[in-house]
Structure 1
Amino acid sequence: MASNFGVLIKRAANDQDKAMDAYARQYGLTGVQMSMIDFLGRRSNDVVLQRDIEAEFNIQRSTATVLLQRMEHKGFVVRQSAASDARQKQVILTQKAVGLKQHVESYIDNQQAKVEAAFSPAEMAIVNRALKFWIEENRK
């Protein structure tokens, strides 16, 4: 009998979050903040607005605001009015966060490499297809 896919997704996400939080702690970050630095760092040539963060992480505006305020307070990001639309907030990594960017990217890339090493490309394609289905199904 197959395992409950939803339970497995939740357990995997929880375990990933715990591991990421443990790693991030040494840099004064949370796992979510580390993911944010990764997201912003990989788009350093682009203008990233708060709404882009909301879409990427599938979070509400209020959640993004609190997260970014905490990161501002810790000196990891600055928010400023976007040149294209003053109502929108552009989010920029500070030098402090840029200094951590390599550690963050290495951790995330290593985690991805571990998964890719454990499964064939065909298996990875099936897992990706199943996860994308799950995401779309739950957005209905």
Structure 2
Amino acid sequence: MFKINKDKMVGFEIKTVHNLLKRDFESLPIHEKNKNITSMQKWIICYLNDNKDKDVFQRDLEEEFSVRRSTATGILQLMEKNNLITREAVSYDARLKKLVLTQKALDIQNEIDEEIKAHDKKISEGISKDDLEVFFKVMKQIRKNLGG
């Protein structure tokens, strides 16, 4: 009989770490202060702010975060409802609506950015630069293997 060794399964390890990451990230002070903003919404706020000098559309988020269209639609609709983003028409294509952060999102963006940086520092603590390079190389290959 074949027995699965979870200690040597990449997918199991990634899923376990994902759960720990999510739980730890959601315990940060910014999450307590803004309970109605999910961790994915925080990442989107930072992404939109980092790309504020160009037009960003839903499809860009789908690609950046490897989420399906229906998932992105749901997240963005909730962000609109919570007054975190607006969708604005662009002059060069009537079908497209760019995503723009509201003042409410801009007011908390720096705080979210600092929390994300602190969290990343915490989770990479004690890992050498060389090991981190290998980690990112491996993760890139896993994404490629999965079609991302």
Per the normalisation by structure 2, the TM-score is 0.85
**Structure 1: 4+ residue segments shifted above 4 A:** none
Distance 1:82 1:20, change over 3 A: farther
Counterpart position of 1:41: 49
Q: For 1:3-82, what aligned pairs fall within 5 Å after superposition?
A: 3-23=8-28, 24-27=31-34, 28-82=36-90
**5+ residue gaps in structure 1?**
none
How high is the TM-score relative to the length of structure 1?
Answer: 0.90
Map of 1:74-93 to 2, 5 A cutoff?
74-93=82-101
Which ranges in structure 2 are unaligned for 5 or more consecutive residues?
none
How many pairs were matched up? 140
Alpha-carbon deviation of 1:67?
A: 0.8
State, as a whole percentage, how many aligned pairs show the same letter. Answer: 27
The RMSD of aligned alpha carbons is 1.8
Question: What amino acid is the match of 1:86?
Answer: A
Distance in 1 between the 2:52 and 2:73 partners? 20
* Partners of 2:66 and 2:90 in 1: CA distance: 21
CA contact (8 A) 1:78 1:92 kept: yes
Structure 1 or 2, whichever has the larger Rg, is 2
Q: Determine the C-alpha separation between the residues in 2 that align with 1:64 and 1:25.
A: 24
Q: How does 1:89-104 map to 2 (within 5 A)?
A: 89-104=97-112
Structure 1 residues 116, 15: CA separation in 2 closer, same or farther (over 3 Å shift)? closer
